[in-house]
């Protein structure tokens, strides 16, 4: 039996790439598409919905979400409430929202995944960065994305920072009497270290974690040059969430 998939945000850069991935996998079936601004009623026989409430009772297993940060929580909540297992790439969730959705999934015994980055290389970068921060507590995260990205810092940068926080001994970096003569020059502070967001046309999704110590430095970097880099992770997520009864935050929990 194929896994029936709804794609929310199907007209977007990530959503349209996910649609192609689903169509090209015989184990998956594209069941429905959602975009509040869509004019089409169907595309190649696949129904298009403009209101998520019309999907209540619809026959599908998984809800893939690549929409916009302001609706991601509401969409994921809706998916869990109505028996669709969410596979969410949309970023911008707060820790409280993730905790709330994790509790709801446990209550509903419905699997799900919120992954700030579906690229395997980015998942490895996060893991390596956390490991290195135990030995190199002085670090800065620089994330670089295309200039249409709505949220900053990226979900990947936040997740990286959270993983680092779990193992790094707290340290407030920089000079004690440091002053910003231009507001924001030192980036956003997270647990005593800094996160910087670069937005430029031509970029896709990139991240560096730079470590500094006495007389040495270490730079970890991951680059997604193409959105196809995220699709093996989305595909894995779809196939794993149908077997599970608990939402997880981070692709590493399914690897
Ligand atoms: P995008 O091109 O702007 O696509 C988002 C799409 O969602 C747009 O077509 C938008 O329509 C549509 N939309 C808005 N509200 C909606 C709703 N309520 N229901 C359904 N669709 C809705 O953005 P993108 O580059 O594809 O990125 C989408 C999200 O994925 C972002 O949060 C981004 O940070 C994230 N992302 C995650 C990963 C990962 O690996 N997890 C990788 C890359 C990107 P309009 O344009 O008409 O508003």
254 domain-assigned: no
How many residues are listed for the chain in this entry? 255
255 domain-assigned: no
Examine the residue annotation and report whether 82 is marked as an active-site residue of this protein. Answer: no
Contacts for 85 with CB less than 8 Å, ≥ 6 apart: 61, 62, 63, 79, 110, 111, 112, 241, 242
Does 217 share its domain with 234? no
Hey, how many other C-beta atoms are within 10 angstroms of the C-beta on 188? 16
Examine the residue annotation and report whether 145 is marked as an active-site residue of this protein. Answer: yes
241 domain-assigned: yes
- Owning domain of residue 127: 120-224
22 domain-assigned: yes
Which residue puts its alpha carbon closest to atom 12 of ligand 1?
9
**pLDDT one-digit tens code per residue, 132-185:** 999 999 999 999 999 999 999 999 999 999 999 999 999 999 999 999 999 999
What is this structure's pTM? Answer: 0.91
78 domain-assigned: yes
Does 195 share its domain with 106? no
Is 40 within any annotated ligand binding site?
Answer: yes
pLDDT at 60 exceeding the cut of 90 = yes
Number of domains in the chain: 2
Q: Is the C-beta atom of 63 inside 6 A of ligand 1?
A: no
**pLDDT one-digit tens code per residue, 223-255:** 999 999 999 999 999 999 999 999 999 999 998
Does 170 share its domain with 76? no
Q: Kindly state the tokens that stand for 28.
A: 């998956």
Q: Which of 9, 150, 34, 165 is nearest to 92 (CA)?
A: 150
């Amino acid at each position: 039996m194929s896994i029936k998939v709804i794609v929310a945000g199907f007209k977007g850069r990530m959503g349209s790439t996910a649609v192609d991935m689903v169509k090209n996998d015989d184990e998956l079936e594209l069941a429905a598409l959602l975009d509040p601004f869509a004019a089409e009623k169907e595309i190649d026989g696949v129904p298009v919905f403009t209101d998520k409430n019309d999907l209540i009772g619809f026959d599908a297993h998984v809800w893939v979400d690549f929409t916009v940060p302001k609706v991601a929580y509401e969409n994921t909540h809706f998916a869990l409430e109505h028996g669709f297992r969410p596979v969410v790439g949309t970023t911008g969730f707060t820790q409280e929202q993730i905790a709330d959705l994790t509790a709801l999934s446990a209550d509903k015994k419905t699997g799900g995944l919120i992954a700030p980055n579906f690229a395997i290389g980015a998942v490895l970068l996060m893991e390596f960065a956390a490991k290195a921060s135990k030995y190199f507590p002085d670090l800065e995260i620089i994330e670089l994305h295309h200039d249409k990205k709505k949220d900053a810092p990226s979900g990947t940068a936040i997740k990286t920072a959270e993983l680092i926080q779990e193992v790094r001994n707290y340290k407030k970096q920089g000079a004690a009497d440091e002053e910003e003569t231009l507001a924001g020059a030192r980036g956003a502070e997270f647990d005593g270290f800094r996160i910087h967001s670069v937005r430029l046309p031509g970029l896709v999704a990139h991240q560096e974690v730079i470590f500094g110590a006495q007389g040495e430095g270490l730079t970890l970097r991951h680059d997604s040059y193409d959105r196809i880099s995220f699709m093996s992770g989305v595909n894995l997520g779809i196939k794993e969430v149908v077997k599970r009864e608990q939402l997880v935050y981070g692709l590493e929990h399914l690897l």
